Structure 1
Amino acid sequence: MCKELPGFKYRHDWVRDVLCDVLKWAGISAKKEAPVNFLTDPLEGRSTLRPADILVFGWEGGKHACVDLTGVSPLVGLKDKGFVVGQAVLKAEASKVAKHEKACLENQHVFIPFAFDTFGGLAPNAVRLLNRVQKVINSNSSSLKVSNFVFSRIGFSIQKGVAAQLVARLPAIAL
């Protein structure tokens, strides 16, 4: 979904950048757009090696984690079955797992899909990742101000992406 519409791509990149900044702020070693040379896009019909959106070093049992972000509209598929809260983000997460998890495991990496929707909903794997990062931050800081730092930053970045997309669609005379 992200690569199909420019507004979604902007939001994807913005959330990726903020997540990478949060990881670094927590003292977790990570690199964005890291070439891993085994992620492919089966829809391309050829081997299109692509980087991990974020590569988190030594994340689980000494293995690096490939984090792949996906932003979706929660209204996707509305005409098919009706609106179900959180359904679009769960479907996006499952799609990413089916697409990349096997390649990551075969190459001694962990795969973490990070699916979010424009209303700020997060898929379970994204919540687990953010909870773990928040625990690292909490263990390194005794300040109460950082108790929800991670979720606040990510939520704000999603909202900012939505706002930027809406402003970009305004006619020039409205500005």
Structure 2
Amino acid sequence: MFTTGISAKKEAPVNFLTDPLEGRSTLRPADILVFGWVGGKHACVDLTGVSPLVGLGSSAFTVGQAALKAASGKVIKHEKACLDNQHVFIPFAFDTFGFLAPEAVDLLNRVQRVMHSNVMTPRSMDVVFKRLSFAIQKGVAAQLVARLPTISM
């Protein structure tokens, strides 16, 4: 494993990402929990991939609109709970055409800066971005498969 100066855990259990409207416990993990990300506070990163064609029937097509809307919805849903529990919330929203929401770009820029200052070889820096790229591709593939028409026999 390569050391990048960033400590994180995927699917990390946090006990405050609940939906009080559900009336029952809906505990869910943070997609990625980055330890000590901002001012010593941990960051809950929520990965969200969307089709850029979502909601197209209701308005004109705008590049990135679906990803920006998804990021905004995630902030509304989770940011207050994270802040109340001394965490930072970062929506990492992207669409299947490759658009990244500004918060995702900021996160990647910071990861890149940390890696440049802590990692010695270009190959080891490649590993992190290849893993991230694979995770995004896997999410896109799952989204496409979910939309395939079912064939009844």
Q: Is TM (by shorter chain) over 0.5?
A: yes
Q: Verify the 8 A CA contact 1:26 1:137 in the aligned structure 2.
A: yes
CA contact (8 A) 1:120 1:158 kept: no
Q: 1:147 to 1:37 in 2, by over 3 A?
A: closer
Give the structure 2 partner of residue 15 of structure 1: none
Matches within 5 A, 1:1-175: 26-41=4-19, 44-141=22-119, 143=121, 154-155=132-133, 157-159=135-137, 161-162=139-140
Structure 1 residue 167, shift from structure 2 partner: 7.8
Structure 2 unaligned regions, length at least 5: none
TM-score by length of 1: 0.71
Number of matched pairs: 149
Which secondary structure does the structure 1 equivalent of 2:132 belong to? helix
Moved over 4 A (4+): 142-153, 163-170
SS at match of 2:78: helix
Farther-moved stretch of structure 1 (67-76 vs 155-164): 155-164
TM-score after normalising by structure 2:
0.80
**Bigger mean CA deviation after superposition, 120-129 or 99-108:** 120-129
In terms of fraction of residues, the more helix-rich structure is 1
- Distance 1:138-1:95 versus aligned 2 partners, 3 A rule: same
Q: CA RMSD in A?
A: 2.9
What per-residue deviation string (whole Å, max 9, x for no partner) do you get for residues 71-109 of structure 1?
100111111102110100000000000000000000000
Percent of aligned positions with the same letter in both sequences? 75
Equivalent residue number for residue 5 of structure 1? none
Q: Secondary structure at the match of 1:90?
A: helix
Indicate the SS of the match to 1:65.
Answer: strand
Runs of at least 5 residues in structure 1 that lack an aligned partner in the other structure: 1-20, 171-175
Which letter does structure 2 place at the counterpart of 1:134?
Q
Q: Secondary structure at the match of 1:137?
A: helix
User: What is the Cα deviation at residue 111 of structure 1?
Assistant: 0.5
> Residue 52 of structure 2: SS of its match in structure 1?
coil
Counterpart residue type for residue 86 of structure 1? G
